[in-house]
Amino acid sequence: MVVAKGLHIVRMGEHHLREVFSLIDRENWGWEFTEIQAIHRLDPGSSIVALDGKEIVGLLTCIDYGSTAFIVHIIVREGWRGKGVGVRMVQEALDDLDSRGISTVELDANPEAADFYDQFSFRRVEGISFMVKDPPHDALRVAEDAASYAWLGPSDMPAVAEATSAAMGHRGDEVLRAMTKLPPDHALSSVGPGRPRDVIVSRAAVALNAAGPWVMERPTAARAESMMRTLVSGMPAKRVDLLVPVSSEPAAPALRACGFRSARDGIVRMARSSEPVRRFPASVLAVGHLGLI
């Protein structure tokens, strides 16, 4: 496998973001430019581009949270595929993360691409489904127990980070740092004594709301449905995106009852780690589309 001469890998800069987004948008994954900006704002140093002269022929977006990093996109321009561009980008990104002492690197892979990551010691952890709900949302019946949930603000983020990190197995300080740097537009929690135990957050882009992570201490389909109804009723009239672990039994029926449909199944959560990486527990109903958030 021969990579064309003159190809070089550089750190992604703000001046690359428009062209990077153009390549991502061609894959028709539904991402928006504001989300690419958010990735770069969370971590301006871990994403890279492959250049042939001044032309971007490949890209890899990544967020380093501390002990964990999440690779969000890996794309090679058509005409450059099969020439080792993707291999070189992934290897350079992993070498950089290893040099910082990152113990776990995760990504969500399309099923047809999962085998590609075996060569980098990634292992399959679990299946993920991509579910969406199109607007309008005002026809959705308001949950009868909506008063049992409360909208949270910036001062509540430490409690949100504690609840989500405890369920998802991530370090609380890393989740809090990310949520402080990129605060959610909506955060909903159960009302009760002590720390919130049922929490879901979402962010609004130009034409979509990205929901998750979503954790519930004792989830049932009925309780999950009421929480999602309450969240969606408070969202702008934009498409809602959600990534759901296949193992989450309450999530799928609750979301379908709220008007969600399956947009892409068979996504594989993969991890490369020096420590055991386990499936998300039953308390995790949805995961963040930017890794930890």
Say if residue 94 is in the same domain as residue 17.
Answer: yes
Tell me the pLDDT band of 134, cut-offs 50, 70 and 90: very high
Structure tokens at 86: 């993707």
* Strand duo 7-11 + 149-151: pairing: unpaired
Between CA 280 and CA 247 the distance in angstroms is: 8
Residue 143 has pLDDT above 50, yes or no: yes
Residue 50 has pLDDT above 90, yes or no: yes
Q: Determine the average pLDDT of the residues in 248-264.
A: 95
Give me the sign of the Cα torsion angle 159, 148, 218, 212. Answer: negative
Q: Determine the average pLDDT of the residues in 132-161.
A: 87
Say if residue 89 is in the same domain as residue 146.
Answer: no
76 and 35 Cβ atoms separated by less than 8 Å: no
- Least confident residue range of 36-45, 87-96, 192-201, 271-280: 192-201
Q: What percent of the chain has pLDDT over 70?
A: 98
115 is a domain residue = no
Between CA 51 and CA 285 the distance in angstroms is: 39
Say if residue 96 is in the same domain as residue 59.
Answer: yes
Say if residue 91 is in the same domain as residue 218.
Answer: no
57 is a domain residue = yes
Say if residue 155 is in the same domain as residue 95.
Answer: no
pLDDT for res 3: 53
125 is a domain residue = no
What is the residue range of 199's domain?
A: 130-286
Tell me the pLDDT band of 209, cut-offs 50, 70 and 90: very high
Residue 10 has pLDDT above 70, yes or no: yes
Say if residue 212 is in the same domain as residue 153.
Answer: yes
Q: pTM of the full predicted structure?
A: 0.93
pLDDT for res 4: 55
108 is a domain residue = no
Say if residue 52 is in the same domain as residue 162.
Answer: no
Residue 240: CATH number of its domain: 3.40.630.30
Of the candidates 292, 239, 274, 233, the one whose C-alpha atom is nearest the C-alpha of residue 101 is 274
Of the candidates 214, 285, 277, 246, the one whose C-alpha atom is nearest the C-alpha of residue 68 is 277
Tell me the pLDDT band of 19, cut-offs 50, 70 and 90: very high
pLDDT for res 128: 97
208 is a domain residue = yes
107 is a domain residue = no
The total domain count for the chain is 2
Say if residue 167 is in the same domain as residue 265.
Answer: yes
111 is a domain residue = no
Say if residue 134 is in the same domain as residue 200.
Answer: yes
Residue 125 has pLDDT above 90, yes or no: yes
- What's 256's DSSP letter? H
Say if residue 253 is in the same domain as residue 142.
Answer: yes
Say if residue 179 is in the same domain as residue 37.
Answer: no
Cα atoms in the Cβ-side hemisphere of radius 13 Å centred on 32 = 14
Q: Determine the average pLDDT of the residues in 203-227.
A: 94
pLDDT for res 1: 42
pLDDT for res 6: 73
Between CA 232 and CA 224 the distance in angstroms is: 12
Tell me the pLDDT band of 29, cut-offs 50, 70 and 90: confident
pLDDT for res 146: 81
Say if residue 98 is in the same domain as residue 142.
Answer: no
- What's 192's DSSP letter? S
- Least confident residue range of 71-80, 132-141, 278-287: 132-141
203 is a domain residue = yes
User: Mind listing the pLDDT tens digit for each residue in 257-276?
Assistant: 999 999 999 999 999 999 99
User: Mind listing the pLDDT tens digit for each residue in 157-205?
Assistant: 999 999 999 999 999 999 999 999 999 999 999 987 777 889 999 999 9
